[in-house]
Amino acid sequence: MKAWLHRFFVTTALAALGVLTIIQVVWFSNAYRIEEQQFNDKVNLVLRSVADQLLHERGNDSLQILPVQQKATNLYSLKIDFSVRYRAIDSLVRRELLRQHIDAPFTIAVKELENHQLILGGYVEHPSTDEEIGCIGRVEHLMPVTVELTFPQKRSEILSAHTFWIISAVILATVVFIGGYLIYDLKNQNRLTTLKNEFINNMTHELNTPIANISMASEVLRAERTLDQKDKVRRYLDIIHEENIRLKLHVEQVLRTMQLEKGTLALAQQKIDLNVLLKDVAMQFTSRIQLRNGEIVSRLQAINAIVVGDAFHLRNMFCNLLDNADKYSSTAPDILIETENVNQTIQVKVSDKGIGIAAEAQRYIFEKFYRASTGLQHDIKGFGLGLTYVQQIVNAHGGDVHVKSEENSGSCFTISLPLTD
């Protein structure tokens, strides 16, 4: 209960921080739009004021000033369709910018209205400086012009006014991200701990049976009256031998998985006909399946079934799949093995009509120690390593494996392996 409450409070706190971060982002976005609109309005006033002063200089107030055009986010243009002294425009622009409290770097371009030829232009670091800008031609002419102002650092100028809020939003977002990651990692660690504990329980259960059988057989053999009964001695020695092999197989299964995970398991490289190998594996399981009134059907239609790999581990891999298909069939097993060529691969499908795998469990079934919850963990033998081994062997051979399954409708495992040249 305490752990649940702890997770609840931490999750609630992180959710609150997340909501606060979203509110800050929305607020900042709105504030930025307002600041940008105010900047646009100020530049609009600057250009219209310049045009108004030029018009007043001519002594003709009857002419109308055209509207300012914003051709890009940071580019503003005004057409002055009456003759003006264009050399005066630069100083007027600087003065009006300072009046509007705009001290950002800008580029000014004064062009002839008719042919758009540049007659005056340059980059100004600060409107308050007296730096000169380039002028094309030495003789002053009265002519209609287009005045263009560009503010290359407009975005940074607006953002600089909100530095504190940007930093606080980034810090909050970082805290939320780290907190979320820690919660995810904690949940993952708890899940792995649960899987490890289940593995230990399953392993104890699996190993306890052969140990008990060996113990029982050895106790019987220790009895003096048994030593004279050769048939009974032979039978109990066979029990000890078989259970010893069973123990050895359990240990080897765990060791093989660990070696594959570490990359220390050496795989043989030989040409293998998968159609032939799958026939042998199917024959190996036929008697066992028939004892449950089931059947194995093989449709080996791949024309080219030659791969390069380790026959021992490929056989064990397919045995694991058939073993699962048998174990997880609550009624008579109905198993289908198919092969076909797809592009430059051979595709092997192992299907059954068993209890299937829940959708939420399918993402975990290839993880080490994981066993889908069926309520039969101890009735269905295993360590939760079979499908992990399958995936590791497939990956080691340059292939891939995926599953398609529905609860109570069976499962289909599809393995694709590259063909040999």
For 386-410, what is each residue's pLDDT tens digit? 788 888 889 889 999 999 998 888 9
pLDDT of residue 138: 44
pLDDT of residue 187: 75
Tell me which amino acid residue 389 is: Y
Q: What are phi and psi of 318, to 5 degrees?
A: -70, -30
Contact between residue 315 and residue 281 where contact means Cβ atoms under 8 Å apart = yes
Placement of tokens 């791949």 in the chain? 302
- pLDDT over 70 percentage in the chain: 74
For residue range 196-222, list pLDDT tens digits in order. Answer: 666 666 666 566 666 766 776 677 666
pLDDT of residue 404: 92
**What is the mean predicted confidence (pLDDT) over 2-8?**
64
For residue range 267-308, list pLDDT tens digits in order. Answer: 888 999 999 999 998 998 888 888 889 999 999 999 999 999
Asked if residue 7 has pLDDT above 60, the reply is yes
pLDDT of residue 377: 45
pLDDT of residue 237: 74
For residue range 78-123, list pLDDT tens digits in order. Answer: 888 877 776 778 888 888 988 988 888 899 888 888 888 888 888 8
- Identify the residue with better confidence: 4 or 50: 50
For residue 108, give Cα distances in angstroms to 98, 131, 176, 297. 15, 13, 45, 82
pLDDT of residue 1: 47
Asked if residue 379 has pLDDT above 50, the reply is no
Residues facing residue 337 across a β-bridge: 298, 350
150-159, 334-343, 394-403: range with lowest mean pLDDT: 150-159
**CA 114 – CA 50 distance, rounded (Å):** 20
pLDDT of residue 363: 82
Residue 261 contacts by C-beta under 8 Å, 6 or more apart in sequence?
Answer: 368, 392
Tell me which amino acid residue 32 is: Y
Maximum Cα–Cα distance across the chain: 138
Beta strand segments in 117-253, E: 118-124, 134-135, 142-150
Which domains can be identified in the chain, with CATH numbers? 2-160 (no CATH), 180-262 (1.10.287.130), 270-418 (3.30.565.10)
Beta strand segments in 245-290, E: 270-273
Structure pTM?
Answer: 0.48
Contact between residue 272 and residue 306 where contact means Cβ atoms under 8 Å apart = yes
**What is the mean predicted confidence (pLDDT) over 243-262?**
65
pLDDT of residue 403: 92
Residue 15 contacts by C-beta under 8 Å, 6 or more apart in sequence?
Answer: none
**What is the mean predicted confidence (pLDDT) over 217-239?**
67
For residue 241, give Cα distances in angstroms to 210, 226, 253. 10, 18, 18
Q: Return mean pLDDT, the chain.
A: 79
Asked if residue 376 has pLDDT above 80, the reply is no
